[in-house]
């Protein structure tokens, strides 16, 4: 018998020899694989794997595919060479609302997963800090698992109904499905719905902020992203990967309830508080930057806000932004500042600085010490801003078009700033 390489992974003892495990058998075990029926085509289904190539897939945060994946006998196969830090293969296309179905077969003690809404940015070294995961694991032969790590879970968040779990053992095929419909989520296994929940509810945020993801501020917030297959150091096979996209539903929201900061998260030591039905930002004793960010992502939207600069007034509204380590918001800012400082212009908080400033003749549209109305419309790669019903900028940019994230209010550093806000009304597009 040929020697087999043995190594200890974080999760436990892993046998890497595919021949010994017997997992890499032919995928062609009856019936035609990796095809769509005429009815499925008519219903909008698309194949994500053609049975022959890995076209449409690439490395996470990459442009080509170099990770340990290959095609054998009509299956996508993870070679079992990945780790917690590597081995992730993602779709080239992003998906928002969908029904996703696939067949999978694990090795003995195997561990893999299907992630969705994964955000690709250099600041995110691994996909699971943003993308939820349908866990795929051989429970029977993997020692030391917590319930939130087992087969079919929404990893570290929601557990399946075990009475409905019918899973074929390692080396045999199973069919899994994820439904994501405008925040409503379902996990299916072999034709049975095993799990159901709603994302971005109070219960969802309580779980996110108290468990494994408490230190991952952007986990699960994205409303769209790439799909991701995980090679977690164990051979695994996949076939019949197909998706049907579902329509996006628009909604209207009042981002500030006039009572408290529900729906927002503060970053930094500067002051955010509610008084007399108004939301205030005010410099604190540290006189640093401060941010108040929505806890949800809003990508395409039409937002109106009213603000009054009671002192200085150097602030702003961030769009499609995310939280980096520490007190730093990464994204694009629609400026709110004293006269002469381009209120309504667009500033990039990293890299390029000012993207577009307002014409000098429009500086007097701002009314210092009085209520002003700002309107911000973000759609695709275009941003338009208005101040007191006057258009300030109309700007198109590829990088903004590729961004997604939170809305955030800013306090500039330097101290002496106080701005009141009210009527933060948003409609998704």
Residue 15: which pLDDT band, with cuts at 50, 70 and 90?
very low
- Strand partners of residue 419: 281, 309
Strands of 353-356's sheet, edge to edge?
Answer: 264-267, 290-297, 406-411, 315-324, 328-336, 346-348, 353-356
Does pLDDT of 10 surpass 60?
Answer: no
pLDDT in tens, 52-89: 999 999 999 999 998 789 999 999 998 888 787 888 99
At residue 301, what are phi and psi to the nearest 5 degrees? -160, 165
pLDDT in tens, 154-209: 999 999 999 999 999 999 999 999 999 999 999 999 999 999 999 999 999 999 99
Domain edge (last residue) among 225, 245, 265: 245
Structure confidence at residue 11 (pLDDT): 35
Residue 423: which pLDDT band, with cuts at 50, 70 and 90?
very high
Does pLDDT of 326 surpass 80?
Answer: no
Domain edge (last residue) among 206, 230, 245: 245
> How far is CA 58 from each of CA 45, 132, 326, rounded to the nearest angstrom?
21, 19, 31
CB 330 within 8 A of CB 308: no
pLDDT in tens, 345-386: 999 988 899 999 999 999 999 999 999 999 999 999 999 999
Is residue 422 in some structural domain? Answer: yes
Residues 103, 95: Cα–Cα separation, whole Å:
19
The distance between the two most distant Cα atoms of the chain, rounded to a whole number of Å, is 83
Q: What is the CATH number of the domain that holds 13?
A: 2.60.120.560
Structure confidence at residue 68 (pLDDT): 83
Structure confidence at residue 349 (pLDDT): 86
How does the average pLDDT of the chain come out, rounded?
91
| Residues 200 and 290 occupy one common structural domain | no
Bin 414: left if φ > 0, else alpha if -120 < ψ < 50, else beta: left
| Residues 270 and 161 occupy one common structural domain | no
> How far is CA 78 from each of CA 10, 49, 111, rounded to the nearest angstrom?
18, 14, 11
CA torsion 298→185→197→144, rounded to 10°? -110
Is residue 141 in some structural domain? Answer: yes
What average pLDDT does the segment 23-42 reach? 77
Number of domains in the chain: 2
Residues 58, 69: Cα–Cα separation, whole Å:
10
Domain encompassing residue 75: 6-245
Domain edge (last residue) among 218, 245, 272: 245
CB 274 within 8 A of CB 76: no
Element (H, E) at 40: helix 38-42
Q: Give the residue from 335, 323, 212 showing the smallest Cα distance to 267.
A: 323
| Residues 160 and 23 occupy one common structural domain | yes
What pTM, to 2 d.p., does this model score?
0.88
> How far is CA 102 from each of CA 32, 113, 201, rounded to the nearest angstrom?
14, 11, 28
Is residue 177 in some structural domain? Answer: yes
If one compares 85 and 225, the residue with the highest pLDDT of the two is: 225
């Amino acid at each position: 018998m040929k020697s087999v390489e043995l190594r200890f992974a974080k999760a436990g003892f892993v046998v890497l020899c595919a021949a010994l495990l017997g997992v890499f058998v032919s995928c062609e075990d009856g019936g035609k694989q990796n095809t769509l029926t005429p009815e499925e085509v008519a219903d909008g289904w698309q194949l994500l794997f053609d049975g022959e190539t890995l076209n449409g897939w690439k490395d996470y945060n990459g442009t080509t595919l170099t990770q340990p994946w290959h095609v054998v006998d009509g299956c996508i196969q993870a070679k079992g060479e990945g780790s917690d830090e590597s081995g992730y293969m993602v779709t080239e296309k992003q998906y928002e609302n969908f029904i996703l179905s696939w067949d999978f077969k694990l090795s003995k003690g195997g561990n893999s997963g299907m992630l969705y809404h994964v955000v690709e940015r250099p600041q995110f070294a691994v996909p699971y800090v943003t993308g939820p995961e349908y866990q795929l694991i051989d429970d029977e032969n993997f020692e030391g698992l917590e319930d939130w790590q087992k087969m079919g879970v929404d990893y570290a968040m929601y557990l399946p109904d075990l009475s409905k779990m019918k899973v074929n053992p390692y080396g045999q095929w199973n069919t899994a499905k994820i439904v994501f419909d405008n925040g409503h989520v379902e996990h299916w296994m072999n034709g049975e719905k095993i799990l159901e929940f709603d994302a971005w509810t109070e219960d969802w945020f309580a779980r996110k902020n108290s468990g494994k993801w408490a230190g991952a501020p952007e986990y699960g917030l994205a409303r769209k992203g790439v799909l991701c297959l995980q090679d977690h150091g164990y051979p695994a096979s996949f076939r019949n990967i197909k998706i049907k996209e579902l329509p996006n539903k628009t909604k209207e929201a009042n981002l500030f309830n006039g009572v408290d900061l529900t729906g927002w998260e503060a970053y930094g030591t500067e002051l955010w508080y509610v008084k007399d039905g108004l939301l205030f930002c005010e410099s604190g004793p540290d006189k640093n930057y401060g941010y108040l960010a929505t806890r949800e992502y809003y990508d395409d939207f039409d937002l109106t806000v009213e603000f009054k600069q009671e002192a200085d007034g150097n602030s702003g509204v961030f769009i499609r932004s995310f939280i980096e380590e520490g007190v730093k918001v990464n994204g694009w800012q629609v400026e709110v500042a004293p006269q002469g400082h381009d209120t309504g212009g667009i500033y990039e908080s990293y890299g390029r600085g000012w993207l577009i400033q307002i014409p000098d003749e429009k500086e007097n549209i701002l009314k210092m010490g009085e209520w002003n109305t700002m309107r911000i419309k973000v759609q695709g790669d275009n941003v338009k801003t208005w101040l007191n019903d006057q258009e300030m900028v109309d700007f198109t940019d590829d990088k903004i078009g590729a961004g997604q994230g939170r809305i955030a209010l800013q306090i500039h550093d330097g101290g002496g700033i106080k701005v009141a806000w009210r009527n933060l009304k948003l409609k998704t597009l």
